[in-house]
Amino acid sequence: MGRYVARRLLQMIPVFIGTTLLIFLMVYSLPGDPVRALWGDRPADPQAMARLRHEYWFDRPVLAQYWHYLSNVVTGDFGSSFVTGRKVIDVMAETFPVTIRLALIAFAVEIVVGLSLGLLAGLNRGKLWDKLVLVITLLLISIPIFVLGFIFQTIFADQLGWTTPTVQNSDDITQLILPGAVLGSLSFAYIARLSRTSLAENLRADYIRTAIAKGLPRRRVVGIHLMRNSLIPVVTFLGTDLGALMGGAIVTEGIFNVHGIGNTLYRSINQSDNATVVGIVTILVIVYLLSSLLVDLLYAALDPRIRYA
Amino acid sequence: MRGATHAKWAAGAVIVALAATACGGGGSGGGGGADGIVSSSWGDPQNPLEPANTNEVQGGKVLDMLMRGLKRYDPKTGEAKNMLAASIDTSDSENFKVTLKDGWTFSNGEKVTAKSFVDAWNYGANLKNNQKNASMFAYIDGFDQIHPKSGSPSTDTMSGLKVVDDKTFTVKLNQKFSTWPDTLGYPAFAPLPRAFFDNHAAWLSKPVGNGPYTVDSYTKGSKLSMRKWAGYMGEDKAQNGGIDLKVYTDNNTAYTDLTAGNLDLVDDVPASQLKNVKADLGDRYINTPAGIIQTLAFPYYDAAWNTPNAAKVRKGISRAINRQQITDTIFQKTRTPATDWTSPVLGEAGGYKAGLCGDGCDYNPAEAKKLIADGGGIPGGQLKISYNADTGSHKEWVDAVCNSINNALGNDRACVGGPVGTFADFRSQITQSKMSGPFRAGWQMDYPLIQNFLQPLYYTGASSNDGKWTNADFDKLVDQANAETDKAKAVSTFQQAEGVVRDQMAAIPLWYQNGSAGYSTRISNVSLNPFSVPVYDQIKVS
């Protein structure tokens, strides 16, 4: 087990280098001169531009820039933004907690609501409940997330007045519930469908019939025997979804004015602020890698037949 | 049981992750609504909040509350009035003696002295400090040493600045510039306390100034709270308890919050809401001229545009644009058709002259067609108006301008829009002189002087003369105007120079841009200054 984890962690190193290089090259290849754009429509100062370029390594070949960046990252220094002059690590320390909380709320929503709907539909296959869940999830999957955001805003803030239309304080977790629900809604529809199919299928498996024949209480049959086996596809989805939720927060954060990584990333891409973009995306990649590792470890917990050596 | 151990591993990892996120919390108390506090929309300032490093409106809002310089532009008339300056005297338009008023201090108790100004200006001009507005100090003698064209600065002080005593300093310029004192209302000329130099990082996270407000707390990227400073010396004391600037990445979101009652002031009404704004806000919507003019510039480095006949074509194009219709329908009257090359905020005395453009700016399709034909037609057969497509929704008006031209000429292909993906790319193409046709040009004044609308844009080799237009008559008149000590004469000489721009149609004036704002029922006495920044200190809370 320990060796397996160690091996997986080591495998992350090449993935990490590859992704950062790709992102670095992509930001670098954006057209235009980001340093000149700092002055906007106003006349730029050639001497100050030259100094900025030199200070932030823009006047060197792209691979040298990348090497410089990477060797600093290894020592924990993510550099600083040439636009704002702020340390990227500070920017991330402010914005990541917000987005992580937002993603966790979305995550909680999709697990709780998605699984209960899936259970409801899977245990009542072909009946009214099943059809109802089918329709709801179909709706959610087919509506783009920004439309849903505005609909929720209108219903819950403008009509019902339960909350403010935008987030007033991004550090207040209760205010993140609405955007979190919007963010998680697409995924909970997928989870409901995945778990419904998997539950309905396993319900007809031999070992379930045996368990029922043994006279086990229904609660135990469903809760232990059925759920545990049916959850494998759901867990796979959840693992990859955590990364997607954090990256996908750009739209939701924009609608609800949440000051998380989504908004920061959007602005930084517009300004070709490569240090900030690469820093944030690198952390997102790491989150993604770690969550998929977690998923693989969870397989073993769910299915005793799976072993890692 | 192996499965159970695995579950423990996984659960442990999840708990660690959750704990890590929980640590990041620690929320501060939120929301406006407190007594006398106005909440206002804000955008994250692009640069650190140093006075000489702030060249956009969001940082400018903060500096306008936090700092007071020698002069201040009157929020209504734009006139430069003495603030900290008791007097600024000169006999030759080149050597100035500045005397400060008594009793001014920074909010940390430090006295504002002549040295506070000289140190701040030297800091702003010094190439080492990478200040974006360093060029504002370019008229001061010694700028070339502290901000050399190449290499490192050879000095840390400009020779043109001399402290005489605590309340007096002298300035020597490197050329005659009679209206130079009127440029001193620009925020880059603000004084700075020692704390700025001694502990720069601390100052940046909580700036200290001498203005009517002090910074109470600053959470970068989300909120800046300014509070009224009781010890403020000026007459423009804050009439509210303070201003909470809240960061919005999208002005639509800010507008939503305003209509829902979560925000008191939005100083940028989104284009998409202009249709509803009257219904939503009634007379709580303001739409007043700002010192911004939009023009179409031409590439004079392209031989086809640099012929005597091309002036006729440019005039023809100008006459083919139905400005009134475009400002009414597309901009919902947040722009006013331009009839000169300055801005109404200058006022008659300041050099604004309605109708200076003459018939060159009158819409007349028949005349337009004739002029363009006389001039030999559009160079290359098709007009391509370049603009950046990422910000500012320029596509709508460029397409409308092209439609107007196409209709006038009776040719569907006479004019097309030429979008450039990003602003950075657009600027690069302009600076590298790669434009082949007219391009969008906007000018926001630095200070309300007619000089600022002409010299940087049309003088030979000037910093913002992107089209590389050059005209000896114009240059001569500008030089004359700058040396003129009588203000009225200087203004009329500048207007003569503007006449040269008109006769050559160096750039086609399109419209003057207005500043727009909307506010809640909680506040009153809201207005915008000529820089389209809300006059925060005058806002009253009911």
- Identify which has the larger pLDDT, B6 or A46: A46
- C-beta atoms of B24 and A153 within 8 A: no
- C-beta atoms of B2 and A168 within 8 A: no
Beta bridge partners of B90: B96
Q: Give dist(CA B270, CA B266) in Å, integer.
A: 10
* DSSP notation for chain A: -HHHHHHHHHHHHHHHHHHHHHHHHHHHTSSS-HHHHTTTTSPP-HHHHHHHHHHTTTTS-HHHHHHHHHHHHHTT---B-TTT--BHHHHHHHHHHHHHHHHHHHHHHHHHHHHHHHHHHHHTTTSHHHHHHHHHHHHHHHS-HHHHHHHHIIIIIIIS-SS-SS-S-TT-GGGGHHHHHHHHHHHHHHHHHHHHHHHHHHTTSHHHHHHHHTT--HHHIIIIIIHHHHHHHHHHHHHHHHHHHHHTHHHHHHHHT--SHHHHHHHHHHTT-HHHHHHHHHHHHHHHHHHHHHHHHHHHHH-TT----
CB within 8 Å of B293: residues ≥ 6 apart: B338, B341, B342, B343, B442, B443, B453, B509, B510, B511, B512, B513
Tokens of A29: 């290849």
Residue A215 has pLDDT above 70, yes or no: yes
Judged on CB neighbours under 10 Å (0-12, 13-18, 19+), A18 is exposed
| Span A239-249, pLDDT tens digits | 888 878 887 78
The whole-number average pLDDT for the span A98-119 is 91
Are B48 and B520 in contact by the 8 Å Cβ rule? The answer is no
CA count, 13 A, side-chain hemisphere, A120: 16
- Identify which has the larger pLDDT, A117 or A83: A117
Are B99 and B181 in contact by the 8 Å Cβ rule? The answer is no
CB within 8 Å of A240: residues ≥ 6 apart: A288, A291, A292, A295
Q: Which of A32, A157, A307 is nearest residue B422 as measured by Cβ atoms?
A: A32
Residue B443 DSSP SS3: strand
| Span B146-180, pLDDT tens digits | 998 888 888 999 999 999 999 999 999 998 888 89
**Which pLDDT score, from 0 to 100, does residue A302 have?**
77
Q: Give dist(CA B430, CA B434) in Å, integer.
A: 6
- C-beta atoms of B424 and A254 within 8 A: no
Scan residues 48-87 of A and list those with Cβ closer than 8 Å to B: 48, 51-52, 55, 83-86
Tokens of B438: 């007219």
Spans of chain B below 50 pLDDT: 1-5, 7, 9-33
Q: Give dist(CA B289, CA A289) in Å, integer.
A: 54
Please check whether residue A263 touches B, CB under 8 A.
yes
Diameter of chain A measured on Cα atoms: 84
- C-beta atoms of A294 and B24 within 8 A: no
State the Cα torsion A146-A148-A154-A157 to the nearest 10°: -90
Query: A46 to chain B: which residues are within 8 Å by CB?
Result: 149
Are B493 and B475 in contact by the 8 Å Cβ rule? The answer is no
C-alpha dist (Å) from residue B297 to B82, B159, B318, B435, B471: 36, 38, 11, 10, 15
Q: Which of B220, B422, B463 is nearest residue A94 as measured by Cβ atoms?
A: B220
State the Cα torsion B528-B542-B259-B56 to the nearest 10°: 30
Q: Where are the beta strands (DSSP E) in B124-248?
A: 161-165, 168-172, 213-219, 223-228, 242-247
Tokens of B314: 């440019």
If you measure CA to CA, which chain A residue comes closest to B252? Answer: A255
- Identify which has the larger pLDDT, A52 or B141: B141
Please check whether residue A41 touches B, CB under 8 A.
yes
Q: Which of A100, A165, A301 is nearest residue B256 as measured by Cβ atoms?
A: A165
Q: Give dist(CA B191, CA A208) in Å, integer.
A: 80
The whole-number average pLDDT for the span A132-152 is 90
Interface test with B, best of A168, A174, A286, A289 (most B CBs within 10 A): A168
Query: Phi then psi for A65, rounded to 5 degrees?
Result: -60, -45
Q: Which of A34, A43, A52 is nearest residue B135 as measured by Cβ atoms?
A: A43
Query: A36 to chain B: which residues are within 8 Å by CB?
Result: 424, 427-428, 431
State the nearest Cα–Cα gap between B149 and chain A, in angstroms.
6
C-alpha dist (Å) from residue B29 to A54, A253, A257, B207: 42, 21, 18, 21
Determine how β-strand B507-519 pairs with β-strand B265-266. antiparallel
- C-beta atoms of A48 and B456 within 8 A: no
Query: B427 to chain A: which residues are within 8 Å by CB?
Result: 32-33, 36-37
Q: How far is CA B237 from the centre of its chain?
A: 24
Query: A267 to chain B: which residues are within 8 Å by CB?
Result: 44, 249
> Which of B295, B196, B264 is CA-nearest to residue B539?
B264
Scan residues 195-234 of A and list those with Cβ closer than 8 Å to B: none
**Which pLDDT score, from 0 to 100, does residue A309 have?**
58
- C-beta atoms of A104 and B18 within 8 A: yes
Please check whether residue A169 touches B, CB under 8 A.
yes
- C-beta atoms of B431 and A301 within 8 A: no
DSSP B117: H
In one-letter notation, the amino acid at residue A196 is R
